[in-house]
Amino acid sequence: MTNDPFAHLAGEQFTAAEAAEYLEISEDGLQALIAAGRLHPAGDGRFPVPELRAIKKSRKVSTIVKAIEHVTPSSGNVFADLGLPDADSLKAKADLAIAITKTIQTSGLTQEAAAGVIGITPSALDDLLRGKFRDIDEARMQEYLQRLQAE
């Protein structure tokens, strides 16, 4: 199934207004495409759907390329990239949460058993593993990791 609301018009030709709507541009924008030689109306001034589809596809690709060109490389700390005030602490806690997760996985412990080893409830461990660690002290998370590693 196609998402193209104009799919039923595959063999048709569009008026200038329909072509502009299909391309999601103004009629002035449509005239600019004609002036640039990128779009060629038929003798009756109508526009063939296949040509419009090709233009629409190239415009989407161009938009994606422009978006990729504007991607800002990460500093390595997404929390700092977002401008959060406690970015370094959040990054350290995230790294600890990842280490705790990997340790639980490699140990073969269930989450409930791991929570028992650490000394917290399974729901508190679940929260920590889901990134809800803002209110947990970094030293405490380090202690949790050490307890799991000693198991």
Contact status, residue 16 vs residue 30, Cβ threshold 8 Å: yes
DSSP code for 143? H
Asked whether the predicted pLDDT for residue 111 surpasses 90, the reply is yes
Q: How far apart are CA 20 and CA 39, in angstroms?
A: 11
User: Which DSSP letter does residue 13 get?
Assistant: E
SS3 label, residue 3: coil
Structural domains present in the chain: 7-69 (1.10.1660), 78-150 (1.10.260.40)
For residue 123, what pLDDT band results from cuts at 50, 70 and 90?
A: very high
Are 51 and 39 spatial neighbours (Cβ–Cβ below 8 Å)? yes
| Least confident residue range of 5-14, 20-29, 46-55, 114-123 | 5-14
Over residues 96-121, mean pLDDT:
95
Rounded to whole angstroms, the Cα distance separating 39 from 78 reads: 44
pLDDT tens-digit series, residues 48-100 = 888 888 888 887 777 776 666 667 788 899 999 889 899 999 999 999 999 99
CA-based angle 59:63:67, to the nearest 5? 170
**Global pTM value:** 0.55
DSSP string, 38-85: S----TTS-EEHHHHHHHHHHHHHHHHHHHHHTPPPP-S-HHHHTT-T
Q: Specify whether the CB–CB gap between 100 and 128 falls below 8 A.
A: yes
Residue 20's nearest CA partner among 8, 34, 10, 3 is 34
